[in-house]
A = this chain, B = another copy of it.
Amino acid sequence: MNDKHSLGNFYEDLYPGLDINHATPRTVTEGDQSLYIALTASRFPLHCDAEFARLIGFQREVVNDLLVFHIIFGNSVPDISLNAIANLGYADVRFGVIVYPGDTLRSVTKVLARKESSKGNTGVVWVQTIGFNQHNDEVLRFTRWVLMAKKDINSKTEDSERIATPSQVDVENYFIPSELQVNNFSKEVTGGKWLWNDYKEGERIYHVEGVAIEEAEHQMAARLYQNTARAHFNAYALKDSLFGKRVIYGGHVISVARELSYNGLENALRIVACNSGTHSNPAFAGDTIFAFTDVIQSINLDSKEIGALRLRLIALKNLDPMKEEVDIKIEKDGKESYHPAVVLDFDYTILMPKH
């Protein structure tokens, strides 16, 4: 049907060097902040306590880094991933200037590389998306790669040169907001006893609680982020899909797990980087999400007041890791694969005050 609607881009449309200005910029408001709290149980004071945010140098409460991520990601969906068969991964996710309620976010994407699958009927596209505020300050950038459907499975395209994605965001690329005044930081406000120096590489933190996600919740979340991917909404068509039902937007699982991690990581300030992330199994409405964190790396920044922690956040569905031991990966048919309860393996880096 050839009418005025858009069906989104296909593999053939996304050639290396292409620059796309995504439509529908988004003014982030107090309303979005409240919904984010209601949908994710967010409790980090930086995002819900204007007095605390001001105390440590900010203008007011700060928009949650992951909400910024979801809005920029959602903004890119109509052009990049409507015809995605799978979101394969992302890397080099760097957060930039602080976003406040009232700021307007827009984004652009550059196609970096592409490669047809061996059968030639699909292909992988690597893109970099950058988000800006209304002053054209960068708020976020990330690389992701997506398995795309072809418009014409018989079309032939040339593969580009491969690109390398870093396994970890370089420390030099951490953006530390200049307005941050860590010396005013208060553990009484966050309720957390532990600071950067207390966290040791290799230690694990179980985040205690489990939170169920309902259809209405993940739909409202994805709509709030203006993410129109049909896997989250089109219940009618999905009856005939692999899972037979709607799949929760993986980014919402990240948010729910990250907000659970408040219990044990109360003094985390902003996220500076996401190094990698795998949505190892789908999550569905009715699932209860649990989470634990492994401290991968303690990064001593050139600062007396603040350090960074590289964390591995594991989310599970319908399995409480405090009650039932679980291997993140298991051997299955001679191959290593994720435990079926593991829905997220997320590697990211946060800032935290030092003693």
User: Footprint of B on A, CB under 8 Å?
Assistant: 1, 3-7, 21-27, 29-35, 37-41, 43-45, 48-52, 61, 78, 101-102, 104, 134, 188-194, 198-199, 203-212, 214-217, 219-221, 223-224, 226, 228, 230, 233-237, 246, 263-266, 286, 288, 290, 318-320, 322
Contacts and interface: CB of A to CB of B under 8 A. Distances in A.
A21 B340 CA distance: 41
Contacts of A265: 4
Contacts of A320: 236-237
Given A1-B322, A48-B24, A49-B27, A210 B234 contact: yes
A296 to B, nearest CB: 15
Nearest to A51: B104
A198 B344 CA distance: 46
A52 B25 contact: yes
Contacts of A224: 34, 37-38
A188 B288 CA distance: 41
List the 5 closest A-B pairs by CB distance, nearest first. Answer: A23-B191, A31-B34, A236-B288, A216-B216, A212-B235
Contacts of A286: 235
A37 B223 contact: yes
Q: How many copies does the complex hold?
A: 3
A350 to B, nearest CB: 14
A26 B41 CA distance: 13
A206 B3 CA distance: 7
Given A37-B223, A38-B224, 16 more contacts: A1-B206, A4-B194, A5-B208, A5-B263, A23-B188, A23-B191, A24-B44, A24-B49, A24-B189, A25-B189, A30-B101, A210-B235, A214-B219, A216-B217, A216-B220, A236-B320
Contacts of A23: 45, 188-192, 266
28 contacts: A4-B205, A5-B205, A5-B207, A7-B208, A23-B189, A23-B190, A23-B192, A24-B44, A24-B48, A24-B191, A25-B49, A25-B51, A29-B34, A31-B32, A31-B34, A40-B223, A41-B233, A43-B226, A50-B102, A51-B134, A78-B191, A209-B233, A209-B234, A212-B215, A216-B216, A216-B220, A217-B219, A236-B320
Contacts of A203: 3-4
A154 to B, nearest CB: 23
Nearest to A41: B223
A191 B233 CA distance: 22
Contacts of A236: 210, 212, 288, 290, 318-320
A43 B30 contact: no
Contact of A43 (B24, B32, B43, B49): B24
Contacts of A22: 191
Contacts of A204: 3
Contacts of A235: 210, 212, 286, 288
Contacts of A223: 37-41
Contacts of A266: 23
Contact of A226 (B29, B41, B221): B41
Contacts of A38: 35, 220-221, 223-224
Contacts of A288: 233-237
Which of A26, A30, A236 has the largest number of chain B CB atoms within 10 A? A236
B226 A27 contact: no
